[in-house]
């Protein structure tokens, strides 16, 4: 049995002690009864999930009408993105099934998470990346965790096609979001939001790339609603980058292009499910430009103290777009704002940490002031 090779897997099994000294547990332990695991499933965990739901006071003021906006800061997961929630499930089920290797295509964060959880499980990880198109921090993560990384001369959609083929090998599990366990793990974020707010929010804003996460949140919201743990369901409002918006345009984008590399996807795997989520919840898929994304990223960092990567700023940019349109007395098609009553609650999932892609900030024209090492000179530069 492969499971016996992994000490972490063995020690976290079933009702074993929490994986951290602080008692903080991962999503499988926290939500075991809602996930397809059994006592035979080894729990490969890094104490992911339980991320903060941060009240965004400045953003709330912009929305006005006594609305409360929260950001679910998924960048505070162990590898810095929400991908950890799905990967704890995918790796646990892979090891349970006897896999000796996992493979994935990635715009970056999936590979970082797969590499870390595979290292923890003691199995091999193979990553296919679009050459030159992934943020440096994410590449560093995959490499340091010991994944074997192949940069291919193609885009993410090409990489995923190859993974579907190569992953047919026996003893190998595909851990892209076409792996249904990923969605299962990711739905736990919706559970946490409901538990923290005491109900579902009125609207949920989220970036959309491969569309697995919007699918997962909607699944989580519906499950807790069906169990009577929330009274309401949120309008699911997804944002694609303008240069990479297949769902918005209703057609595959062959050469997707955006600064938000994590959502640079031209043919989403969960396209149909995302469409369903938006349709059933009374939400919408809209677009934001790279300029709007970068402006929202800076705004969130400098007004709320939350530094996210560009893809994660898409829902913030989307909310600002809605606010501006509403202020001008016109609404974008399907915009949830006019439907929200006074005092509504909006949650924006910010999916990944800004440090993953620090390059984008430094290339964006930020520079420190220069001064000699003397207090008077520094004060002068500061205008103090």
Ligand X SMILES: *Cc1c(COP(=O)(O)O)cnc(C)c1O
What is the closest distance, in whole angstroms, from the C-beta atom of residue 18 to ligand X in the complex? 26
Instruction: Work out whether 340 is an interface residue with ligand X (CB under 6 A).
Output: no
DSSP-assigned letter for residue 263: G
Out of 139, 178, 262, 296, name the contact with ligand X by CB under 6 A: 262
- The SS3 call for residue 130 is strand
Residue 157 beta carbon to ligand X: minimum distance, rounded to whole angstroms: 12
Closest CA to 293 of 262, 265, 316, 276: 316
Least distance from ligand X to the Cβ atom of residue 236, Å? 12
Contacts of 124 (CB under 8 A, 6+ apart): 100, 101, 102, 118, 148
**Across the strands, what pairs with 70?**
55, 347
Stretch that binds ligand X, among 44-52, 120-128, 210-218, 285-293 (CB under 6 A): 210-218
**Residue 119: closest CA among 73, 80, 79:** 79
238, containing H or E segment: strand 235-241
Buried b (16+ CB within 10 A) or exposed e, 173-199: bbbbbbbebbbbbbbbbbbbbbbeeeb
- Provide, rounded to whole angstroms, the least separation between the CB of residue 213 and ligand X: 3
Separation between Cα atoms, residue 206 and residue 193, nearest integer Å: 14
- Only one of the segments 35-43, 97-105, 204-212, 251-259 lies at the binding site for ligand X (rule: CB under 6 A); that segment is 204-212
Minimal distance, residue 44 CB to ligand X, in Å: 19
DSSP 353: B
Our finding on whether 297 is near ligand X (CB under 6 A) is no
Q: Kindly state the helix (H) or strand (E) to which residue 311 belongs, with its residue range.
A: helix 310-327
Q: Which is nearer to ligand X, 63 or 263 (CB)?
A: 263
Site stretch for ligand X (CB under 6 A), options 154-162, 244-252, 306-314, 363-371: 306-314
208 belongs to the binding site for ligand X (CB under 6 A): yes
Report how far residue 120's alpha carbon sits from residue 113's, in angstroms, rounded to the nearest whole number: 11
Residue the block writes with tokens 């990567």: 309
**Based on CB atoms, which residue is closest to ligand X, 230 or 351?**
351
Q: In 3-state terms, what secondary structure has residue 280?
A: helix
d(CA 301, CA 56): 11
Near ligand X by CB under 6 A: residue from 309, 318, 335, 340? 309
Both tokens of residue 100? 């000796």
Q: What's the min distance (Å) between Cβ of 105 and ligand X?
A: 11
By CB under 6 A, the count of residues binding ligand X is: 18
Q: Which of 352, 354, 360, 361 binds ligand X (CB under 6 A)?
A: 352
Report the DSSP pairing between strands 68-73 and 53-55. Answer: antiparallel
Per DSSP, the three-state class of 300 is helix
Which residue number, 96 or 309, has a Cβ lying nearer to ligand X? 309
Choose, by CB under 6 A, the member of 89, 104, 263, 284 that binds ligand X: 263
Asked if 30 interacts with ligand X (CB under 6 A), we say no
- For residue 45, state whether it binds ligand X (rule: CB under 6 A): no
Q: Which of 210, 258, 281, 345 binds ligand X (CB under 6 A)?
A: 210
Query: Which residues are CB-neighbours of 126 under 8 A, at least 6 positions away?
Result: 101, 102, 103, 104, 147, 148, 150, 166
Judged by CB under 6 A, the residue of 19, 26, 209, 354 near ligand X is 209
Handedness of CA 274, 235, 56, 241 (dihedral sign): positive
State which residue has the least CB distance to ligand X.
352
Residue 384 CA to residue 378 CA, distance in Å, equals 9
* Interaction of residue 207 with ligand X, rule CB under 6 A: yes
Q: Kindly identify the residues of this chain, within the stretch 165-184, that bind ligand X according to CB under 6 A.
A: 177
Check binding of 212 to ligand X (CB under 6 A): yes
Looking only at residues 75 through 114 of this chain, which bind ligand X when binding is defined by CB under 6 A? 81, 83, 109
Task: Give min distance, CB of 200 to ligand X, in A.
Answer: 19
Residues that bind ligand X (CB under 6 A): 81, 83, 109, 177, 207-213, 262-263, 309, 311-312, 351-352
């Amino acid at each position: 049995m492969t499971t016996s090779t992994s000490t972490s897997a063995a020690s976290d099994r079933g009702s074993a002690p929490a994986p951290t000294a602080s008692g903080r547990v991962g999503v499988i332990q926290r939500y075991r009864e809602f996930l397809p695991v059994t006592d035979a499933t080894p729990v490969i965990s890094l104490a992911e999930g339980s991320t903060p739901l941060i009240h965004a006071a400045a953003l709330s003021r912009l929305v006005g009408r006594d609305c409360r906006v929260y950001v679910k800061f998924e960048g505070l997961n162990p590898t810095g993105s929400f991908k950890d929630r799905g990967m704890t499930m995918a790796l646990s089920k892979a090891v349970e099934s006897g896999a000796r290797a996992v493979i994935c295509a990635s715009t970056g964060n999936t590979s970082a998470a797969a590499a870390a959880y595979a290292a923890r499980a003691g199995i091999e990880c193979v990553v296919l990346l679009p050459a030159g198109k992934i943020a440096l921090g994410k590449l560093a993560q995959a490499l340091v965790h010991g994944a074997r990384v192949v940069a291919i001369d193609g885009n993410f959609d090409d990489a995923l096609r190859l993974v579907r083929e190569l992953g047919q090998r026996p003893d190998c599990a595909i851990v892209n979001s076409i792996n249904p366990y990923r969605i299962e793990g990711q739905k736990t974020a919706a559970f946490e939001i409901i538990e923290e707010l005491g109900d579902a929010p009125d609207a949920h804003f989220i970036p959309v790339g491969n569309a697995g996460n919007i699918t997962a949140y909607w699944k989580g919201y519906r499950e807790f609603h069906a169990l009577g743990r929330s009274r309401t369901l949120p309008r699911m409002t997804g944002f694609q980058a303008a240069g990479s918006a297949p769902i918005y345009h209703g057609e595959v984008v062959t050469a997707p292009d955006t600064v938000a590399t994590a959502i640079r996807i031209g043919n989403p795997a969960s396209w149909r499910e995302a469409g369903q989520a938006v349709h059933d919840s009374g939400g919408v898929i809209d677009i934001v430009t790279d300029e709007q994304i970068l402006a929202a990223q800076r705004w969130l960092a400098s007004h709320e103290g939350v530094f996210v990567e560009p893809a994660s700023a898409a829902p913030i940019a989307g909310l600002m777009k809605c606010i501006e349109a509403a202020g001008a007395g016109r609404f974008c098609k399907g915009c949830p704002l006019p439907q929200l009553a006074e005092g509504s609650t909006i949650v924006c999932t910010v999916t990944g940490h800004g440090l993953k892609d620090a390059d984008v900030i430094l290339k964006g024209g930020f520079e420190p002031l220069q001064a000699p090492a003397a207090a008077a000179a520094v004060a002068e530069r500061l205008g103090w």
